Amino acid sequence: MEKDIDELLEEVENKFINKNNEDKSRKLLTAHTLSSQSSFRCDSSDYDDILRDVEDHTDSKPMLSKSLTTNSSPTASAGIRCFPVYIGGSDHSSGCSTVGMPRSCSNLHCISCDFAVYTFDNFQWLPDTDYLFLRTNMPEFERVKDHLLPLEGCRAYACQCSHYATSIMKEVKSVPVLSWVCRSH
């Protein structure tokens, strides 16, 4: 195998570095092609060595992933994310959503304004709430409470560019105006 690599390196050097030796490189190429066809054989011990190396490598992976998860912070991007991402009213539980247990995501982030999404339980947004109001007043409750209408079972969501209120559980992707994603739990 080393001989083949050396021949290949010589061929490259002669062909691209020393262009004067074109005949020599052609001879090397022909010799290399003929020798590589007849010399490539592996016996069973080579296969066993390769399999042992692969097994050793796969045994070390779980320990590596365990150390990574213990050292990462809970807000890291490698954390658990909701799938699918749901929003819902104040009657619905909040947390990390899974396929088997849908919950309202408690850690939403807007990818349009790069701002956290805040929730206000038992409130609904007034119809005249707009982008400029949210941009200047979010996330302080004292400043936005004038645009919130009390409504039992509803939950008002807002970032600095959009708002939404709902009392039923629904996927975020079903509301096209929202650019919200789970930031991880």
Q: Which pair of tokens denotes residue 164?
A: 């939404």
pLDDT of 68 over the 70 cut: no
- 172 CB-contact burial (10 Å; exposed 0-12 / middle 13-18 / buried 19+): buried
Shared domain for 120 and 152, answered yes or no, is: yes
Q: Is residue 29 part of a domain?
A: yes
pLDDT of 42 over the 70 cut: no
Distances in whole angstroms, Cα of residue 97 to Cα of each of 76, 87, 166: 17, 10, 17
91: confidence class by pLDDT, cuts 50, 70, 90: very high
3-state secondary structure of 78: coil
Q: Is residue 77 part of a domain?
A: no
- 146 CB-contact burial (10 Å; exposed 0-12 / middle 13-18 / buried 19+): exposed
Q: Global pTM?
A: 0.58
pLDDT of 75 over the 60 cut: no
Shared domain for 162 and 100, answered yes or no, is: yes
Domain region containing 11 = 1-41
Q: Is residue 79 part of a domain?
A: no
Shared domain for 96 and 115, answered yes or no, is: yes
pLDDT of 52 over the 70 cut: no
32: confidence class by pLDDT, cuts 50, 70, 90: very low
Shared domain for 90 and 63, answered yes or no, is: no
